[in-house]
Chains A and B, each alone.
Chain A
Amino acid sequence: MDQHFPPAADRPEHQGGDLVRRHALATRLWHWTNALALLVMLMSGLMILNAHPRLYWGHYGSEHDHAWLVLAALEDTAFPGWMTIPSNYSLADARLWHFAFAWVLVLAFTGYLLWGLLRGHIRRRLHITRAEWNPRHILHDFVAHVRLQFPTGTAALDYNVLQKLAYGGVLFVLLPTMILTGLAMSPALDAAWPWMVDLFGGRQSARSIHFIAASGLVLFFAVHMVMVVLAGPVNEVRSILTGWYRLPREKGGAA
Chain B
Amino acid sequence: MILTRRKALQVGAAGAGGLLLSGCDALNDSAPFKDGLAGVGRLHELTQRAIIGDSLAREFTEIDMSPVFKANGSLRVADPAYRALLAGGFGQWALRVDGLVHRPLALPLTALRAMPQRTQITRHDCVEGWSAIGKWQGPQLGAIIAQAGLMPGARYVVFHCADQLEGKPFYESIDLVEAFHPQTILAWRMNDAPLTEPHGAPIRLRVERQLGYKQAKYIMRIELRESLAGLYGGRGGFWEDNRGYQWWAGI
Binding site for B on A (CB under 8 A): 40, 43, 48-49, 51-52, 54, 56, 59-65, 81-82, 85-88, 90-93, 95-97, 99-100, 103, 185-194, 197, 203-204, 207
Contacts and interface: CB of A to CB of B under 8 A. Distances in A.
Contacts of A187: 57, 123, 125, 208-211, 250-251
Interface string B107-118: 000000000000
Contacts of A97: 24, 28, 37
Contacts of B52: 188-189, 191-192
A100 B24 contact: no
A3 to B, nearest CB: 40
Contacts of B82: none
B251 A59 contact: no
Contacts of A93: 28, 34, 244
B85 interface: no
B221 to A, nearest CB: 26
- Chain A to chain B: the 3 pairs with minimum beta-carbon distance, closest first: A188-B250, A64-B68, A92-B244
Contacts of B125: 185, 187, 203
Given A65-B66, A100-B37, A207-B129, A190 B58 contact: yes
A95 B246 contact: yes
A99 B41 contact: yes
A192 B53 contact: yes
Nearest to B34: A96
Contacts, number: 140
A203 B123 contact: yes
B246 to A, nearest CB: 7
B126 interface: yes
B38 interface: yes
B245 A92 contact: yes
Contacts of A49: 129
SS class, residues of chain A in contact with chain B: helix
Interface of B: 17, 21, 24-25, 28, 34, 36-38, 40-41, 43-44, 48, 51-53, 55-58, 60, 64, 66-68, 70, 123, 125-133, 208-211, 239, 243-246, 250-251
Question: Which residue, of A81, A88, A99, A103, has the highest number of chain B Cβ atoms within 10 A?
Answer: A99
A91 B21 CA distance: 17
Given A96-B244, A187-B250, A62 B25 contact: no
Contacts of A82: 17, 21
A190 B210 CA distance: 10
A85 B244 CA distance: 15
A188 B251 contact: yes
Given A92-B244, A99-B40, A62 B250 contact: no
A63 B130 contact: yes
A217 B53 CA distance: 34
Contacts of B57: 187, 190-191
B248 to A, nearest CB: 8
